């Protein structure tokens, strides 16, 4: 059993912690929190061992939340750390992981050079095998890469033009906006998403543009892909159906929005309403000669969770790409 710890128990961290517990080849050492807030209280109720920075020991003791030790204690007990701290904080922790010679998985909010490889399970699992430091790309980039690598296996891609409608905040965030505007963010073109895709697919011709919309549920991407040869809509659909972590919203379901997708997750009793798959609108798939158009929704809070689990297996060389994806999907109830 590989000992994994989770540093930064927030939106992504709480989901990855839960996913680690469900893996047959992993054991959760504990989670790290900095403040004794409601998330720490819930973590205690869930039975997690909680580790804190030296200077937070007193505040946790005063709050009555039992701690198992300091973050350094947690790192020392681990074979590998999943770092889901806020943007830029992970890079600071890298020194500590290095000090104790521990492997680490970083998130997309870190600069690409924090790790030896940026990671997408479907695109470049093998490049990450045995790597000391791996960076799982952001939610938007994970969705772009899963889709692009899948389409590229139907017909070689010449170029990708992507428009990204980003959710303004996660549901738990109370201080973010906008609430009455669509904001070009970034206003400059290309947006950073294209550059992030290029950290994995170095030679791909991709340009992306992004706006922020006043919603918390999901992102939506509008893709225009030019292929080297003409493809049929049916070929694209059958490839999507046979690819793990991509699902189709069939036209007859009458679902046309992120609100309805999340409602389905609620009705199915999915934990936290999570949908880690890329949710592609079947009726948006349109081909014209060498061009392919499609739209899909991305659940930002959960899409990177299976990739974090696969990144742990790649780093520890626990399984092949297909085997890891199979185990992760089966344990997390994700389309295989
Ligand atoms: P978050 O703010 O929800 O969670 C971060 C957690 O880290 C919080 O619990 C915070 O208390 C804790 N923390 C802060 N400073 C710390 C420190 N010094 N030591 C230990 N813990 C500390 O953030 P998030 O949304 O989960 O984002 C985490 C990472 O995942 C970022 O790199 C982000 O870019 C990336 N990411 C986020 C999303 C998303 O939609 N939320 C999607 C994909 C990737």
Which tens digits make up the pLDDT trace of 265-302? 999 999 999 999 999 999 999 999 999 999 999 999 99
- Per-residue burial over 247-272, b if 16 or more Cβ lie within 10 Å, else e, is bbbeeeeebeebeebbeebeeeebee
pLDDT in tens, 187-236: 999 999 999 999 999 999 999 999 999 999 999 999 999 999 999 999 99
Distance from the CA of 87 to the center of ligand 1, in angstroms?
7
d(CA 77, CA 29): 7
- For the chain, residues classed under CATH 3.30.360.10 are 139-298
Domain with CATH 3.40.50.720 in the chain: 2-137+304-332
Q: What is the CATH number of domain 2-137+304-332?
A: 3.40.50.720
Q: Which residues of 151-182 are buried (b: 16+ CB within 10 A; e: fewer)?
A: bbebbebeebbbbbbbbbbeeeeeeeeeeeee
DSSP 3-state assignment of 18? helix
Q: Note the pLDDT tens digit of each residue in 127-183.
A: 999 999 999 999 999 999 999 999 999 999 999 999 999 999 999 999 999 999 999
- What's the pLDDT band for 243 if we cut at 50, 70, 90? very high
- For ligand 1, whether the C-beta of 11 sits within 6 Å is yes
Ligand 1 atom nearest to CA at 172: 3
CA-closest residue to ligand 1 atom 27: 86
d(CA 230, CA 48): 52
- Residue closest by Cα to atom 7 of ligand 1: 8
- How close is the Cα of 171 to the center of ligand 1, in Å? 14
Distance of alpha carbon 55 from alpha carbon 77, whole angstroms: 20
Mean pLDDT value of segment 11-18: 98
Could you tell me which CATH number the domain at 139-298 has?
3.30.360.10
With a CB cutoff of 8 Å and minimum separation 6, the contacts of 317 are 129, 130
């Amino acid at each position: 059993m590989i000992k994994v710890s989770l540093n930064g128990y927030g939106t992504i961290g709480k989901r990855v912690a839960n996913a680690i517990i469900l893996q047959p080849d992993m054991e959760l050492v504990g989670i790290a929190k900095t403040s004794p807030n409601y998330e720490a209280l819930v973590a205690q109720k869930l039975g997690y061992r909680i580790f804190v920075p030296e200077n937070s020991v007193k505040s946790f003791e005063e709050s009555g939340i039992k701690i198992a030790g300091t973050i350094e204690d947690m790192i020392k007990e681990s074979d590998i750390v999943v770092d889901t701290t806020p943007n830029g904080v992970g890079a600071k922790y890298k020194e500590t992981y290095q000090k104790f010679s521990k492997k680490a998985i970083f998130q997309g909010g870190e600069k690409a050079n924090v790790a030896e490889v940026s990671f997408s399970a479907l695109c470049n699992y093998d490049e990450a095998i045995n790597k000391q430091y791996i960076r799982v790309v952001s939610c938007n980039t994970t969705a772009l890469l899963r889709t692009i690598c899948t389409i590229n296996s139907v017909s070689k891609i010449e170029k990708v033009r992507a428009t990204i409608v980003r959710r303004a905040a996660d549901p738990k965030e109370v201080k973010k906006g906008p609430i009455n505007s669509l904001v070009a963010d970034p206003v400059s073109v290309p947006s950073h998403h294209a550059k992030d895709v290029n950290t994995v697919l170095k030679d791909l011709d991709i340009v992306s543009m992004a706006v922020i919309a006043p919603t918390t549920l999901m992102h939506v991407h509008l893709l225009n892909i030019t292929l080297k040869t003409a493809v049929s809509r049916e070929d694209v659909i059958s490839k999507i159906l046979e690819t793990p972590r991509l699902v189709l919203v069939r036209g007859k379901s009458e679902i046309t929005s992120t609100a309805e997708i999340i409602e389905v997750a609620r009705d199915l009793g999915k934990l936290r309403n999570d949908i880690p798959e890329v949710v592609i609108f079947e009726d948006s798939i349109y081909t014209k000669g060498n061009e392919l158009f499609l739209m899909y929704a991305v659940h930002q809070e959960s899409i990177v969770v299976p990739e974090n689990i696969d990144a742990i297996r790649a780093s520890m060389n626990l399984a092949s790409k297909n085997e890891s994806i199979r185990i992760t999907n089966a344990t997390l109830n994700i389309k295989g």
